[in-house]
Amino acid sequence: MNAAANEANRHRVPLRDHVATSIRRYLGDLNGSDTENLYEIALRELEIPLFAEVLEHCDGNQSRAAAMLGIHRATLRKKLKDYGLA
């Protein structure tokens, strides 16, 4: 890795920090109301843009996208279908 890449990595905010910020904002937007199935909602809200962006990055190649995601292509295809992305 070159010096510029090392410098960029040193200042990169971890993805989990972005997720935590979004979850805090979502919980705050509930304004004291409860919600059910937050785990399922959060997974769906993360997976949809994750799959869409990775597929775009891989020029629509599902095999490459699945490999990048670390899941089987069949799993990716099922989730894309479930989310109406296929």
pLDDT in tens, 44-72: 999 999 999 999 999 999 999 999 999 99
For the domain that residue 50 is a member of, what is the CATH number? 1.10.10.60
pLDDT exceeds cutoff 60 at 1: no
Percent of the chain at pLDDT > 70 equals 90
Q: CA neighbours within 13 Å on the CB side: how many for 9? A: 6
Least Cα distance to 66 among 56, 58, 76 occurs for 76
Confidence of residue 3 (pLDDT cuts 50, 70, 90): low
If you count DSSP H runs as helices and E runs as strands, how many of each does the chain have, helices first? 5, 0
Report the distance separating Cα 25 and Cα 13, nearest Å: 17
The whole-model pTM stands at 0.76
- Number of domains composing the chain: 1
8-state DSSP, 84: T
Average pLDDT, the chain: 91
Terminal Cα-to-Cα distance of the chain (whole angstroms): 36
Domain housing 64 = 3-82
